[in-house]
Structures are given as structure tokens and as C-alpha cells.
């Protein structure tokens, strides 16, 4: 059986090495290196090289695992063990020199996340968790917030950037939380948003239009930190269903009810 605790430490070390590469490249980065993959969807050589380093390193750590990766440096295969990797979550932020941007790495077994590492590059913060082992930030245990009500909560979201079909309910949700919570935040990195729910900086986070590499690592972080994660229906299809809701446990039912009433 795979020992997840030591494996998580090896993944953390690999992520920190890639974070150092990203930080170094940011110093000399220019927008002339940017390619447009689709509407508001950008990539650069930094994303691609970071992903290749991660794929090579993770392949050495667990040769039997396949990959689901954003920049498609490795073709997907049907295996029980999979690495789900975003080498640079928050590429638009990175392009403009605006934090946060993060490396997100999840190991899933039969489509269940069992290990997650999110390394927020700007602050050099390493969030990590493994199934049954708890969640940590730079070696210290973390827990979700203890806030009991949405009205006492700070709520995070992400703006739609290619799927505008649900814009009306999304804008409705902004209006509601602006008036009925401690406020709204939009960081531009879903992985970081989820890590911040796990450590109690946010009470709740919701967004639609996301991909597995945006949420897989953050999902296990939130769960191991004592929080809840679901899709907008309260189900478990948050990795591939293109919508996620995450929060501490006390506000989860209220938070989910609000999202369901709007969307």
C-alpha cells in the first residue's frame, strides 16, 4: 500500500522546487511570451516547463500513476492512480505580476482525491493534506474557520471567464453575499481559494466553469481541515461537474441552500 505521508513530503519538495523556478522566471517575464489557448485562457512557456518538471518528478515518485494535466504535456490514461496537476493556477495573475498564483497537485485513487499539495508561490506557502492525515500549512496543522453563520463569513468566488450562460444567477449571488456576509473576495486562483478555506481565511468558496486540476488538491485540503465540499446540488461531482462549493462545516447547509436558491 502506498504510504501517503512520506509521499506528500516528496511532492511538497518537488512543488517548492518548481515554485522557485516560477519565481525566477517571473523576474524576467514579458507578455510577448503569452499564448492564447481560448477566450481569456492564457499560457506561457513557464506553465509548460513547470508542468514538464512536475510530470517528470511525479512519474519518478509513483510510476504506476497516470496524469490529468492542464497543459497536455502527458496524454491521459485509464488507471486507478492519477496525478491531477495544474502547474500554474492563476496564469493571468502571473502574467501581470499580481499574486496569488499557485501550483496544484492532487493524487486520486479511483477518482477520489487522497493527497493534495497547493504551493502558493508569491507567499511561499505550502498547503498539503492526505487522506486521514489532516491538513497543514508549512508544517503546522490547519483547520477551517469556526464561524457559525454566513452573515459572519468572508466568501470567495471566481468570475466566469468563458462560460457566461449563468451570468445572471452569478451576479445575483454577488449581490446577496455583498449584503449578507462579511464581504466578497475574488483572488483569481481557485486552488488558493480552496487552500484559504482550509486554513480559515475564507469561510466559503463557490465557482462554476472549473476543471479537475483547479479543484482536486483543494478539495482534500478542505475535507482534511474539517470542512465540506460538494457540487451545487450537494452531490460529489465537483471534480468533473464544473462547479464546486466548499466551506467550513457550520455554514455548509446554509451556504448550499443559498447557492441552490439562486442557481
Q: Report pLDDT digits (tens) over 156-197.
A: 999 998 889 999 999 999 999 999 999 999 999 999 999 999
At residue 1 the predicted structure's pLDDT band, cuts being 50, 70 and 90, is confident
Percent of the chain exceeding pLDDT 90 equals 88
Percent of the chain exceeding pLDDT 70 equals 95
> H/E/C letters for each residue in 177-195?
HHHHCCEEECCCCHHHHHH
For 181, phi and psi rounded to 5 degrees? -150, -175
Q: What is the three-class DSSP state of 165? A: coil
The residue with greater pLDDT, 176 or 28, is: 176
Task: Report the pLDDT value the prediction gives residue 43, as an integer from 0 to 100.
Answer: 79
Average pLDDT, the chain: 94
Distances in Å between the alpha carbon of 206 and those of 82, 194, 256? 25, 9, 9
Task: Report the pLDDT value the prediction gives residue 41, as an integer from 0 to 100.
Answer: 60
At residue 31 the predicted structure's pLDDT band, cuts being 50, 70 and 90, is confident
What is the spatial distance between Cα 168 and Cα 165, in angstroms, rounded to a whole number? 8
Section 236-245 average pLDDT: 97
Residue 39 has pLDDT above 80, yes or no: no
For cell 471534480, the residue is 239
Section 232-245 average pLDDT: 97
Domains and CATH numbers, the chain: 4-141 (3.30.540.10), 150-262 (3.40.190.80)
* 43-94 pLDDT, tens digit each: 788 999 999 999 999 999 999 999 999 766 666 677 999 999 999 999 999 9
Q: What is the three-class DSSP state of 67? A: strand
Residue 129 has pLDDT above 80, yes or no: yes
Which residues touch 119 (CB under 8 Å, ≥6 apart)? 12, 15, 16, 18, 19, 102, 103, 125, 126, 127
* 93-104 pLDDT, tens digit each: 999 999 999 999
What is the spatial distance between Cα 98 and Cα 118, in angstroms, rounded to a whole number? 18
At residue 36 the predicted structure's pLDDT band, cuts being 50, 70 and 90, is confident
Section 234-262 average pLDDT: 98
Amino acid at each position: 500500500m502506498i504510504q501517503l505521508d512520506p509521499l506528500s513530503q516528496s511532492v511538497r519538495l518537488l512543488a517548492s522546487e518548481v515554485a522557485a523556478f516560477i519565481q525566477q522566471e517571473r523576474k524576467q517575464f514579458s507578455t510577448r511570451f503569452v499564448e492564447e489557448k481560448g477566450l481569456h485562457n492564457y499560457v506561457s512557456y513557464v506553465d509548460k516547463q513547470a508542468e514538464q518538471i512536475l510530470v517528470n518528478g511525479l512519474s519518478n515518485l509513483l510510476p504506476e500513476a497516470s496524469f490529468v494535466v492542464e497543459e497536455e504535456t502527458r496524454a491521459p490514461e485509464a488507471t486507478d492512480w492519477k496525478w491531477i496537476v495544474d502547474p500554474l493556477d492563476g496564469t493571468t495573475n502571473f502574467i501581470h505580476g499580481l499574486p496569488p498564483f499557485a501550483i496544484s497537485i492532487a493524487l486520486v485513487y479511483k477518482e477520489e482525491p487522497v493527497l493534495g499539495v497547493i504551493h502558493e508561490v508569491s507567499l511561499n506557502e505550502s498547503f498539503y493534506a492526505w487522506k486521514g492525515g489532516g491538513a497543514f500549512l508549512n508544517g503546522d496543522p490547519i483547520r477551517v474557520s469556526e464561524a457559525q453563520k454566513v452573515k459572519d463569513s468572508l466568501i470567495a468566488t471566481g468570475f466566469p471567464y468563458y462560460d457566461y450562460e449563468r451570468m445572471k444567477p452569478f451576479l445575483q449571488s454577488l449581490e446577496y453575499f455583498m449584503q449578507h456576509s462579511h464581504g466578497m473576495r475574488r483572488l483569481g486562483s481557485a486552488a488558493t481559494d480552496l487552500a484559504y478555506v482550509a486554513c480559515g481565511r475564507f469561510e466559503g468558496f463557490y465557482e462554476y466553469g472549473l476543471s479537475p486540476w483547479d479543484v482536486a488538491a483543494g478539495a482534500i485540503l478542505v475535507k482534511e481541515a474539517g470542512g465540506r465540499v460538494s457540487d451545487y446540488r450537494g452531490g460529489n461531482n465537483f471534480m468533473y461537474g464544473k462547479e464546486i462549493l466548499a466551506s467550513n462545516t457550520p455554514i455548509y447547509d446554509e451556504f448550499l441552500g443559498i447557492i441552490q436558491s439562486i442557481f
